[in-house]
């Protein structure tokens, strides 16, 4: 079953994006490089709890 997760910037800790992941296939946290509006650059975004 797919679960909705929120992605937060590792630099400024703002929560910019949301995504859906399949928990049965992926056990570790999602990490994606995305554009952060607060920082103004592409930064690493991690899945929050």
- 3-46 tens-digit pLDDT: 999 999 999 999 999 999 998 888 889 999 999 999 999 999 99
Is 5 in contact with 18 (CB distance < 8 Å)?
yes
20-25 — which CB contacts under 8 Å span 24+ positions? 21/47
Distance in angstroms (rounded) separating the CA atoms of residues 31 and 15:
13
pLDDT value of residue 23: 83
pLDDT value of residue 49: 81
CATH number at residue 25: 2.20.28.120
pLDDT value of residue 37: 93
Query: How many distinct structural domains can be found in the chain?
Result: 1
Distance in angstroms (rounded) separating the CA atoms of residues 6 and 15:
7
Structural domain boundaries, residue 31: 2-47
pLDDT value of residue 36: 95
Q: Which two tokens stand for residue 10?
A: 């590792």
């Amino acid at each position: 079953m797919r679960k909705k997760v929120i992605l937060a910037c590792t630099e400024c800790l703002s929560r910019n994006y949301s995504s859906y992941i399949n928990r049965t296939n992926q056990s570790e946290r999602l990490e994606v490089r995305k554009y952060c509006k607060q920082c103004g650059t592409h930064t690493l975004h991690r899945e929050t709890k």
